[in-house]
Amino acid sequence: MLLLLTGLAIATVPSAWITASPFGICAHLPDDVILDRIAEAGIAWIRIDVRWSLVQPEPDVWDWTAIDRVVDGARARGLEIYATLSDTPAWATDDDPGNGPPRDPADWARFCYRAVARYRGRIRAWGLWNEPNLDRFWTGSRTGYIETIVLPGADAIHAADPFALACAPDTAHLHSARWDRWLHDVAVAGRYRLDVVTHHVYPSNGSHRTVSSALDRPPANPWDDPSVRQVLQDAGWFGRPFWLTETGMASDLWGETDQAGLYSNLLEDWFRPGTDLNWIGRIFFYEAADDPGASHAWGIMGPPPEYEPKPAYSAYADFIAGAEVADADLVSASGRTFLHPGEKATARVEFRNTGTVPWNAADGYRLEAVEDPVGLVRSGLDLPAGSSILPGETAVFELELTAPGLATGGSILVLRMAGPAEKRFGAALRATITVSRDDPPSILRQPVSRTVPRGAPVRLELEAWSPASLSYRWQRDGADLREGNQFHGTASSALTVFSAGPHTEGEYRCLVTNAAGTVATTTVTVRTGPAPPPRQPSGRIPRRHRR
């Protein structure tokens, strides 16, 4: 089967996701009044904060109350959510709480997994930390951020929800913080794990031109920083999804008129029809409403309780109302994951037009392979001649794939919609294709979910077959398990959990690997519950009831 992201053989996006827009706003944890006004402006996306220290203040204590309220309110209004995961609790770090690196990457991965699993199908995109190149948010190294936050976090996100987007690094565009090295290294390291690269750029002198210049234009002098575009090109990421997840202007510093002008002009730069600046997939302005505790007024609305709209609010709403944008959401994908050298296969991919303009075959709208290191021979990427996919309609692509003649192992195939002037837009399909002479493992018997009394042992078993030797790797909540006092058999087909409780509850799966590659079992749960009633001997009357 065509492996969508990291786990589904045949997959369909939940119907509630069939809506999109490139326009967003940073909102932290907004109340209902802010959510109402965001929706009234036509802004489709909000960026919120999901703080690890707030959600898991102690190792076995979870409190989702604040996040539940925001997610429920946003989804009730049809708003899409980009949630930033960050902020280490004191129990999980040997450094300062908040910005200190986690002591154990598995703790971070488990938090990511549980957040994504809880809001599966309701939160579409997840950010892995905020501005890690600034000490106020991350005191660790660049390598530590990649190895501790990005890679384990992205794997946990995809394990919990194969359709969720893993996004990073949300870097701050500051020369003193080496933004270019951070952005480059994260894009390289996350090339096959991330779905979206994210970055923050603010105007240096109150002008929208400085934002667009920092993003797209080559440096004027050899000592100047490169453009974001150049960094993405050097990292091999350009053409894949990129989001500008913070930009904006404080109205108390520049005035409300200039703030509104920044919004209008920056949107005109990047989202008017025919512009050459068209590779930002989504834009999130900072921010929805003024924070009374902040040093400056960044909001497009004033502070509570009135939340009085500023001119920037109207400028944003007016632009959205008349915008002509190309956008796409992935609806479903099915096909083959493992191919033998030279083997032919078919795949079926559906993208829905979630923009405001039709996809006309005559204008060059098509499906395009952004990356294909395997070297598959492909056909079926074009729309049928004379066809037009209107907003809200779905384009179905029946692909014919032929594997190369030599075994190449596992590689990532990335497909996106493309339009006139080589513009790529919308979501991407990221599929793992393995070309091998060997057959992958076959799972003959899946593990089964268990609910047992607290303190009882639990045994999870699977049965797999392969003509070659097999290896096993058990995970709980997206993190690899370690052999020890809690678990036995973490690298075998039978896992024993010694004592069920809050520290061992969660979602389990096993990754089974042979020479061809890896296959995951179904995900099962281990929960604790009341002890079952004692069983009575069949056909006998207990002695105490005899007369």
In which residue are the tokens 């986690």 written?
102
Please report, for residues 114, 156, 375, 493, 502, the alpha-carbon distance to residue 479 in angstroms, rounded to integers and kept in the order given.
11, 7, 32, 17, 16
> Strand 23-28 and strand 45-51: pairing?
parallel
Q: What is the pLDDT of residue 524?
A: 97
CA–CA gap between residue 513 and residue 464 (Å, rounded): 10
pLDDT for the residue numbered 348 = 94
Cβ contact 48:115 at 8 Å = no
The confidence score (pLDDT) of residue 535 equals: 53
Comparing 328-435 with 442-528, is the CATH topology the same? yes
Q: What is the CATH number of domain 27-172+190-226+238-321?
A: 3.20.20.80
CATH number for the region 328-435 comes to 2.60.40.10
- Residue ranges of the chain with pLDDT lower than 70? 1-20, 531-547
CB burial class (10 A; 0-12, 13-18, 19+) of residue 95?
middle
What pLDDT was estimated at residue 497?
97
Q: What share of the chain is helix, strand, coil (3-state, %, to 5)?
A: 25, 30, 45
Residue 439: Cβ-neighbour burial (10 angstroms; 0-12, 13-18, 19+): middle
- Which CATH code, of 3.40.1000.10, 2.60.40.10, 3.40.1160.10, 3.20.20.80, is assigned to 442-528? 2.60.40.10
Contact criterion met (CB below 8 Å) for 190 and 157: no
Could you tell me the residue ranges of all domains in the chain? 27-172+190-226+238-321, 328-435, 442-528
Give burial (CB, 10 Å; 0-12/13-18/19+) of 79.
buried
* Predicted TM-score (pTM) of this structure: 0.92
Q: What is the 3-state secondary structure (H, E, C) of 266-331?
A: HHHHHHCCCCCCCCCCEEEECCCECCCCCCCCCCCECCCCCCCECHHHHHHHHHHHCCCCCCEEEE
- Assess contact for 128 and 149: CB atoms under 8 A: yes
